[in-house]
Amino acid sequence: MIIVSKGLFVLGTGTDIGKTYVTGLLLKYLRDNGYDATYFKAALSGAIRDENGSLVPGDAVEVLTMAGLEEDTDFLVPYIYETAVSPHLASQIEGNPVNLDVVKDAYEKVSQKYDYIVMEGSGGIVCPIRYEGKDNENNIMLEDIIKHLDLDVILIADAGLGTINSIVTTVEYLKNRNIHVCGIIMNNYKDELMENDNIKMVEDLCNVPVIAKVYQNDKNLLPNVDTKELISYFK
């Protein structure tokens, strides 16, 4: 089996910056513009159980609901953990550690059905996905999944105070590992002096464009790049 669709990796500067929300807006934008796009996430922790006792991956449900896409979440998320901690620790507690080949196989199956895949990361870039001890060959970091699937990155960040450091350090980390960052989306944006200066500073310091600004409770993504350019980020 080979990957036939094109994918893009959505990465946050950290937790709780609205990465899942913006991922939903991005997927909705693509589907509203006629692109056959779907969601994918390698490992999700913090899932809840429904009335039947089955684990429900909340992030995936949120994104699919926002985008108006009906799909089996088990098909889109190969590893689902109940414990609300980093995937490496959740898998240590619950068993079933992440295997890169399993992730790639699941991604390939999704790619047979959809033309474009918006893949959401877990936390920030320094997120252990599997950890079996220092220098263990089975260890997996989030960056390993990005490289394994050969994807470029869209970075999601909060527009407020402290974002310059978070964005610059994340972009430099990615560049040092030969992972390309296509653009930045600022979440929780307010049209204020500091936040507009934050945008100018990160663009100057990182040489990466801010391609969209998302106000709180926005229902649609309004990128400042055209649709063809946005689609060109998928590979």
The pair of structure tokens assigned to 117 is: 């895949």
Backbone phi, then psi, for 55, in 5-degree steps? -75, 130
CA-closest candidate to residue 122, choices 164, 90, 168: 90
Backbone phi, then psi, for 155, in 5-degree steps? -100, 130
Helical segments of 44-192, H only = 58-67, 73-76, 87-94, 100-111, 142-148, 163-176
Helix (H, G, I), strand (E, B) or coil at 90: helix
Q: What percentage of the chain's residues is helix, strand, coil (to nearest 5)?
A: 40, 20, 45
Q: Round to whole Å and give the CA distance between 189 and 191.
A: 7
Which residues are designated catalytic?
A: 41
Q: What angle do CA 24, 182, 227 make, to 5 degrees?
A: 60
Q: Round to whole Å and give the CA distance between 77 and 62.
A: 13
Q: Within 13 Å, how many C-alpha atoms sit on residue 184's CB side?
A: 28
Helix (H) or strand (E) holding 213, with range, is strand 210-213
